[in-house]
Structure 1
């Protein structure tokens, strides 16, 4: 029986996947796994029994990844599960920025009781005239699950799409429309595009990437959209560019006193993934990741350990989940220890991620707590978990 603790409300369609062999507990100290959305776990002390954390969403800046890696706690996220929701909001933001829909709607409401509203509308609408997306150039910074679908959709709007991603994977590249121009210099995005949208994680490399130097290169009248992370944009530099008119509109999904008071900013209350469909997709994916790891030792979509997948656990066999430092010679010591315990390795997979590594071993023989204890004594070993035969 595995105990699951939810730090936030998780869609029932996801939690229902954790039925037989699982129970949901209110006490964190009883938890084998955590499901979370936005709750801040950075300062939280985890129980020694905690095995995994599943974030129902893509961003994990609310989770202490390095500390979890050292404690042998696998952190999962759900990349792509909310991609369509964010993509649709990006284009909603571009349309709101291009056609003064908000201003027009406010004018109608302000004049709703005027009996001469129909006649006055024909004159007033000139104040809210805008431009079309077709024929404009969109720069997409980050071509992951969200950025890729944004770029692909732009071509269907008749836009020219430029994409920048120095870490573009082969799989992601295959999913891109052939009409998208992949650029290797981010400054091309800044110099050439009418619209710029950001879809990268918050890292030391990306914080403040849209700052004064970047904005200075942009075309006058550019529209900048940030539905990724607030820290990617230097807010003071953006406010100054909006005041100057260099940036025509800033569409931001992260309200705070600074963004809320920016001239010509459209600030949304963090709506990027706030659709019923996205919440369901994230919950289903998070639950599936936990179930596969807890029952089979499989790690997919982890942000602090590499991908390891041996498929479903074979009948009559056990699996050993080994979390350790990425050290030379350690695999040999593991093999020797298993031999001394009269365990035969039937299948094995190992993957490193920075200074951390995960080794999943399927064995035959009498795998018991004693063998777990012996493996735990190996220098550099962080955690050993036994999944007994089913």
Structure 2
């Protein structure tokens, strides 16, 4: 059981990667210090640093990933210790959308291979123009207008890709059994809905994937999937390398079943594949994207530390209660019966009046915030914390 108390003290923030200055400015109000040597900060802001072997201090309350993927963070260990983990969905969506559409058009026109071939002519002098005219026929490509793009995953990135592909006069079919209400509102009604992924595989000339790497999505591009696809289909993967079975992908590229595989996750296998286009993990690598992610990540951390409110967590339930400056008790606990009742009872037995409260659950865990509408003397809070931490199933307690 870990008990954390925040009562107006200066909070320590540690960064494990270079974080955009405009993001760190969020902490420049005198209430925070940025100390990258701290062994037990209040919060960590990270990009791609591998945290799996990092010791998580008892004072650590939050980790914010300036990006969408959190594979580099030990989520289960954080949850068990009551550390909220944030990500920044949508902050880099435009950057990824642009590189997907760029790669879609460039690969369809064989631009990458054509440029690479042209560079081999650099010592040919005055012959270069005639050699270009004679050699360009080997790079004749296809226009994307009128072709069908399959979009797997219609979240922040997938929805943008689908809508803009329509504006490029493509037909678009999308598959996402877990599409959110907000995304559904933003998605064009002209996007055809695939009832199954197999339906999308069978119809699409181009396929782009925008889903996390899970047990359900791992190696989703495999021989069984390729057997359903149109010959020569182009597959774009700017999500995760593990979505493709690389042995099956290499065979499909060699036989021409897959015409091109454009991936943002090159490795030795990918570099040896015929007609693979290895992109050096540039999907979200724009100045604008890095800044947007940093600002979003740091604001989420600051809000949580100061108010207890949670948005865009990957392991805690999202919860928001208007913060009025009252004393606020936050409890992260197991999602079992009568937890809220026990927490309320302890607060009431301390002669404290409850002004407002919220409880949200996520799987095996839940999060409760309680605002106290009473004057609190100096020794009330420590006694209250001591009583709350005795409740079986409580993971962390914070008083703000």
TM class by smaller structure? over 0.9
Structure 2 unaligned blocks of 5 or more: 1-9
Equivalent of 2:15 in 3, 6, 24: 6
2:27 is paired with a residue whose SS is: coil
Is 1:377 matched with 2:386? no
Deviation at 1:373, TM superposition (A): 1.3
What CA distance in whole angstroms lies between the structure 1 residues aligned with 2:117 and 2:39? 55
Asked if 2 retains the 8 angstrom alpha-carbon contact of 1:348 and 1:361, the reply is yes
Aligned residue for 1:268? 279
What CA distance in whole angstroms lies between the structure 1 residues aligned with 2:53 and 2:67? 20
Equivalent of 2:262 in 251, 268, 278: 251
Aligned residue for 1:323? 332
Aligned residue for 1:336? 345
Structure 1 unaligned blocks of 5 or more: none
Deviation at 1:45, TM superposition (A): 1.8
What CA distance in whole angstroms lies between the structure 2 residues aligned with 1:54 and 1:227? 22
Is 1:67 matched with 2:77? yes
Pairwise CA RMSD: 1.1
Deviation at 1:216, TM superposition (A): 1.1
Asked if 1 retains the 8 angstrom alpha-carbon contact of 2:40 and 2:58, the reply is no
Count of residue correspondences: 385
Aligned residue for 2:193? 182
- The two structures have a TM-score, normalised by structure 1, of 0.97
Equivalent of 1:79 in 89, 101, 117: 89
2:130 is paired with a residue whose SS is: helix
What CA distance in whole angstroms lies between the structure 2 residues aligned with 1:85 and 1:328? 44
Asked if 2 retains the 8 angstrom alpha-carbon contact of 1:28 and 1:47, the reply is no
1:78 is paired with a residue whose SS is: coil
1:228 is paired with a residue whose SS is: coil
Aligned residue for 2:303? 292
Question: Which moves more between the two structures, 223-232 or 88-97?
Answer: 88-97
Asked if 2 retains the 8 angstrom alpha-carbon contact of 1:242 and 1:249, the reply is yes
What CA distance in whole angstroms lies between the structure 2 residues aligned with 1:104 and 1:206? 33
Aligned residue for 1:305? 316
Is 1:228 matched with 2:234? no
1:29 is paired with a residue whose SS is: coil
Deviation at 1:56, TM superposition (A): 0.1
- Larger relative contact order, structure 1 or 2 (CA cutoff 8 Å, min sep 6): 2
